[in-house]
Each structure stands twice: as structure tokens, then as C-alpha cells.
Amino acid sequence: MGLKYIDEYRDPDLARMLVKKIQAVSHKDLRLMEVCGTHTMSIFKHGIRSVLPKNIMLLSGPGCPVCVTAQKDIDAFVEFAKKKNVILTTFGDLMKVPGSGSTLAKEKAEGADVRIVYSLFDALGFAKQNPDKEVVFCGVGFETTIPTIAATLLAARGEGVVNFSIYSSNKLTPPALAALMETDGVKIDGFILPGHVSVITGTNAYRATFEKYDIPSVITGFEPIDILKAVLILIQQNETGEKALVNAYPRAVSEKGNVKAHAIMNQVFELCDATWRGIGDIPLSGMGLKKEFSAFDAAKKFNMDMPEAPEPAGCACGEILMGLKTPEACKLYKKKCTPMRPVGPCMVSSEGACAAFYRYS
């Protein structure tokens, strides 16, 4: 389908044709996981779940960066906010995520200098404007965000800005997919792989995972036609047994990805182990600052070594991120946990599965 324009990816006639094809070829019970939180929101927004056969179950995976951030890291952000002479900068999704005892929103209401930014360079700008204060950025993101953080740190070093630092809780997507495949009880028959991340990583980033686990995998975009095509491909692969790693988003994704973004990211960051909410520790799944950029490491600058912290009592966010549960199976969902009073991050983030279920289902 040589589609060029956005309207074509929302064409109702084409969508109906794809749904008919899906219904015609689908016979097996399948559990397909959309890894990206943006896919989750798009699936709900366009009513895709409602048109699929009942034997096809869509699961939301660990593709929401705020949702997979470990509780101890959320606690660290809250502790930074409490420090005198610190301006804490963050993307908006983190504001209401509950730490063990507080939230950034609560600390801000009580007088902490917590500022929402839309660009890392905004945070760097605050550091230049306030040389007598320390500016800390909450580094939460996947491959789409990490190059931007790296570029900002390169700029800070080049301009001699010494009162700017980040707390890195950045993570990489492919290692999480491998960890899921190794987790007892997790059953996934195919991955809908993230479009935004894949623009940076390229198709090759998933090849080792695909080859090791022989799991049908499709990279796709976020429009309804994109998603329906991916679902159809995954069903066909499972029905025929001819499994493949497919790039169904060639208008944005190449095999090698964004080479320049890779170079910038690798100039500043290096692989490290990381803790994922629900999944636990995954070796070499995080990106920590290289030694030559340690002056910009907020954890070292402030000696912030937070202890492990349990997830909120009763919260099933971790299990939801692994596809072990759906939000409705959480005993807190729509009862103690709502968007106005969230218990876990899956109900807070705009890309969280619980938020999507609450809003659309």
C-alpha cells in the first residue's frame, strides 16, 4: 500500500477492508503486545480493540517511560525537589506520580521550585538565568529522548554551565523485550514495536531479540491503518508459522535508524544496568553518563543513593506493564486509583495503560 498522506492512514474504507482481512484469517487465540504507550492511546482513541475478533487480545507493554520508572527513582526526584537552592525541572507526566511519601506536585504546592519544561534546553536556560542555584532535570525517557538530553549536556559543557545536572533514569527498549520473553508467566505471541523509538534505533536494534526468541514483530506507526496492518501481519505470521521482523513503517524507520542521534547519545552516555518497575533489574538496559560527564550527574553531585522502595500496596502497575494483567484486573482500578487520585504511574501518564482504559473504555 503506497500510502503518502495522513488522510490515507485514516481512510475508513481501507480500515474496513483490513478488519475484514483480519477476521478472515484469524483463527488462533493470540496475545499481541503493543510496546509503545502512544500505540495504546491510539488503539483506544480509534476503537481498534472493538473491531478485532474476540480471540485477539491486545496487551499494553513497558513502553511508557514514566510508568516503568522505578519507585526509588520517583523518590529521588521528590528528594531533589525538597532540597534548598535547587530548581527541579521535569516533563509534566512526572508531576503527579506518587513517590513513597509525596509527589512533585505536592512539593511544588508546598513551596518547592519545581518547573515543567517542554525542552531540555528550557532547563539549561534556567541554569544560565540562575547561576546561584542548582538546576536538576529528571531524566526519564527512551531512545527518543536520550539524544536530546545528550545534546543539551554537550551544550552545557561547551558553554561552561556548571550548575546544571541530570538524574538519569533513561532506558532502552530492546532489552526489556528480551526480559519479558524470559519472565515466567508472560505469554506474548507478537510485538507491535514502537514507531518513535524505532526512528532512532532502526530495525536492526530488535534483530537479536527476534532471532533468539523467534517472536513475530512489526514496527509500525500510530494511525489506525498503521496499527491494523501490524495486527494483520502478526496474525498471518502466527497462523502460517512464518515468523519475521517486519518494518511496516518505512516512511519513518530505516534499518540503521538515526545515525547522528546514535553518535550524540553514545558520546555522552554508556550502557548500564537499570531497574524497571514490575520487571526488576535488567542488565545493560539503561544509559548512564560517561565518566567525562560525571560533573553533570545529579546523583553523584548530591550523593543521591536512594534505597529500593516497594510499589504502592495493591497497585498492579508492574504486572500490567508485563502483560500479566489488564487494568480492570487491578483491585484499585476506578476505586482507590483514578486520574484525580492516582496510586500508580500507569494511571498518571498520558501514555499509561490505566489512564487509557479509564478514559476510553
- Nine-digit cell string for 343: 496510586
| Predicted local confidence at residue 11, as pLDDT | 86
Q: How far is CA 158 from the centre of its chain?
A: 30
Q: Shortest CA distance to 18 belongs to which of 234, 249, 246, 228?
A: 228
Residue with cell 483506544: 44
How far is Cα 86 from Cα 304, in angstroms, rounded to an integer? 14
Q: What is the full per-residue pLDDT of the chain (361 aa) written as tens digits? A: 445 667 778 888 999 999 999 999 999 999 999 999 999 999 999 999 999 999 999 999 999 999 999 999 999 999 999 999 999 999 999 999 999 999 999 999 999 999 999 999 999 999 999 999 999 999 999 999 999 999 999 999 999 999 999 999 999 999 999 999 999 999 999 999 999 999 999 999 999 999 999 999 999 999 999 999 999 999 999 999 999 999 999 999 999 999 999 999 999 999 999 999 999 999 999 999 999 999 999 999 999 989 989 999 999 999 999 999 999 999 999 999 999 999 999 999 888 999 999 998 7
How far is Cα 247 from Cα 292, in angstroms, rounded to an integer? 37
User: Percentages helix, strand, coil for the chain, rounded to the nearest 5?
Assistant: 45, 15, 40
The reported pTM is 0.93
| Predicted local confidence at residue 361, as pLDDT | 77
Coil/strand/helix, residue 33:
strand
Taken in order of first residue, the domains within the chain and their CATH numbers are 1-361 (3.40.50.11740)
How far is Cα 194 from Cα 191, in angstroms, rounded to an integer? 9
- Nine-digit cell string for 107: 512539593
Query: For 356, how many CA atoms within 13 A lie in the half-sphere containing its CB?
Result: 27
How many beta carbons lie within 10 A of that of residue 19, not counting itself?
18
Full 3-state SS string of 244-302 = CEEECCCCCCCCCCCHHHHHHHHHHEEEEEEEECCCEEEEEEEEEECHHHHHHEHHHHC
How many beta carbons lie within 10 A of that of residue 94, not counting itself?
26
- R_g of the chain, CA atoms, integer Å: 21
| Predicted local confidence at residue 66, as pLDDT | 95
| Predicted local confidence at residue 5, as pLDDT | 65
How far is Cα 235 from Cα 31, in angstroms, rounded to an integer? 10
Give CA separation, 214 vs 30, 163, 238, 275, 318, in Å. Answer: 15, 48, 11, 26, 25
Residue 161 DSSP class: -
| Predicted local confidence at residue 1, as pLDDT | 45
